[in-house]
Amino acid sequence: MSNTVLQELDDGVLTVTFNRPDKKNAFNREQWTAFDQILRNANTDKRVAVVLLKGAGDSFCSGADLSDFSNSEPADGVEPFDACAEALIEFQKPLVAAAKGIAVGGGATILLHCDIVYVGESLRMKFPFTSLGLVPELASSVQLANIVGQRKASEIMLSSEWINADRARQLDLITDIYSDEQLFDKATSKAKELAKWPVSSLVATKVLLKKTNLATLRQALVDEKSEMLRLAGSPENREAITAIFERRQPDFAQFRKTAEAEPA
Q: Does 23 bind ligand COA (CB under 6 A)?
A: yes
Q: Which is nearer to ligand COA, 12 or 250 (CB)?
A: 250
Q: Does 159 bind ligand COA (CB under 6 A)?
A: no
Q: Does 61 bind ligand COA (CB under 6 A)?
A: no
Query: Which 8-state DSSP code applies to residue 168?
Result: H
By beta carbon distance, the residue nearest ligand COA is 105
**From the list 12, 55, 63, 133, which residue makes contact with ligand COA (rule: CB under 6 A)?**
63
Q: Does 163 bind ligand COA (CB under 6 A)?
A: no
Nearest distance in Å: CB 69, ligand COA: 8
Q: Which is nearer to ligand COA, 23 or 169 (CB)?
A: 23
Choose the binding region for ligand COA from 11-19, 62-70, 73-81, 221-229 (rule: CB under 6 A): 62-70
Query: Three-state SS for 96?
Result: strand
Nearest to residue 106, comparing CAs of 84, 91, 121? 84
**From the list 9, 47, 67, 189, which residue makes contact with ligand COA (rule: CB under 6 A)?**
67
Query: Three-state SS for 242?
Result: helix
Spell 138-162 as b/e; 16+ CB within 10 A means b. bbbbbbbbbbbeeebbeebbeeeee
Q: Which is nearer to ligand COA, 65 or 115 (CB)?
A: 65
140-148 vs 199-231: helix axis angle to the nearest 10? 120
Spell 209-235 as b/e; 16+ CB within 10 A means b. ebeeeeeebeebbeebbeebeeebeee
For ligand COA, how many residues bind (rule: CB under 6 A)?
Answer: 15
Span 24-43, contacts to ligand COA by CB under 6 A:
24, 26
The sheet that has 13-18: what strands, in order across it?
5-10, 13-18, 50-55, 95-99, 116-120, 176-178
Choose the binding region for ligand COA from 23-31, 77-85, 90-98, 172-180 (rule: CB under 6 A): 23-31
Q: Is 111 exposed, middle or buried (0-12, 13-18, 19+ CB in 10 A)?
A: buried
Q: Does 128 bind ligand COA (CB under 6 A)?
A: yes
Positions in the binding site for ligand COA (CB under 6 A) = 23-24, 26, 62-67, 102, 104-105, 128, 132, 244
